[in-house]
Amino acid sequence: MNNVFDFAEACLHRADIEEKLQLTAKAWQLYQQGELKFDSLSAVQEIEQVCFPDKPELLAPRYMARRKLGTPEGVQAFYHALAHIEFIAIYLAWDILYRFRGLPEKFYQDWLRVAYEEALHFELIRSHLRKLGIDYGDLPAHQGLWEHAQDTAHDLLARLTIIPRCMEARGLDVTPGMIDKIRTLKDEAGVKILQRILQDEQQHVLFGSEWFNQQCREQQLEPEATFKAMLLKYFNNNKPKGPFNNEMRLNAGFTANELAWLNEQ
Ligand SMILES: [Fe+2]
Ligand SMILES: [Fe+2]
Looking at residue 82, its pLDDT comes to: 96
Cα separation, 127 vs 72, whole angstroms: 16
Domains located in the chain, CATH noted: 58-263 (1.20.1260.10)
Distance (angstroms) between ligand 2 centre and the Cα of 118 equals 6
For residue 143, the model assigns a pLDDT of: 85
In this structure, are residues 47 and 19 in contact, taking their beta carbons and an 8 Å threshold?
no
Chain centroid to Cα 190, Å, comes to: 19
Distance 164 CA to ligand 1 centre (A): 11
**Dihedral of alpha carbons 231, 235, 236, 239, sign:** negative
Ligand 1 center from residue 237 Cα (angstroms): 27
User: Which among 207, 52, 33 has a CA at the least distance from the CA of 114?
Assistant: 207
Residue 85 CA: which ligand is closest?
1
d(CA 89, ligand 2 centre) in Å: 6
Q: Cα of 193 to ligand 2 centre, how many Å?
A: 14
Q: How far is the CA of 16 from the centre of ligand 2 (A)?
A: 21
Q: Which ligand is nearest to the CA of 204?
A: 2
Distance, CA of 42 to chain centre: 25
Q: Do 38 and 31 touch, CB atoms closer than 8 A?
A: no
How far apart are alpha carbons 40 and 35 in whole angstroms?
Answer: 15
Give the model's pLDDT for residue 60: 85
**Greatest CA separation found in the chain?**
53
Ligand sitting nearest the alpha carbon of 87: 1
Q: What's residue 206's pLDDT?
A: 98
CA distance 244 to 255: 13
pLDDT score at 70: 84
Give the distance (Å) from ligand 1 centre to CA of residue 115: 9
**Cα of 198 to ligand 1 centre, how many Å?**
8
- In sequence order, which residues have a C-beta less than 8 Å from that of residue 233 and are 6 or more positions away? 158
The per-residue pLDDT for 97 is: 98
**Distance from the CA of 122 to the center of ligand 1, in angstroms?**
7
Predicted structure pTM score: 0.97
Task: Tell me, in angstroms, the distance from the centre of ligand 2 to residue 85's CA.
Answer: 9
In angstroms, rounded to a whole number, what is the distance separating the alpha carbons of residues 112 and 31? 9
Query: Which residues make up the environment of ion ligand 2, defined by Cβ < 5 Å?
Result: 89, 168, 201, 204
**Tens place of pLDDT per residue across the chain (265 aa):** 999 999 999 999 999 999 999 999 999 999 999 999 999 888 999 999 999 999 999 998 777 777 788 899 999 999 999 999 999 999 999 999 999 999 999 999 999 999 999 999 999 999 999 999 999 999 999 888 899 999 999 999 999 999 999 999 999 999 999 999 999 999 999 999 999 999 999 999 999 999 999 999 999 999 999 999 999 999 988 889 999 999 999 999 999 999 999 999 7
* Ligand with minimal distance to 164 CA: 2
Task: Indicate the burial class of 133 (C-beta count within 10 angstroms; 0-12, 13-18, 19 or more).
Answer: exposed
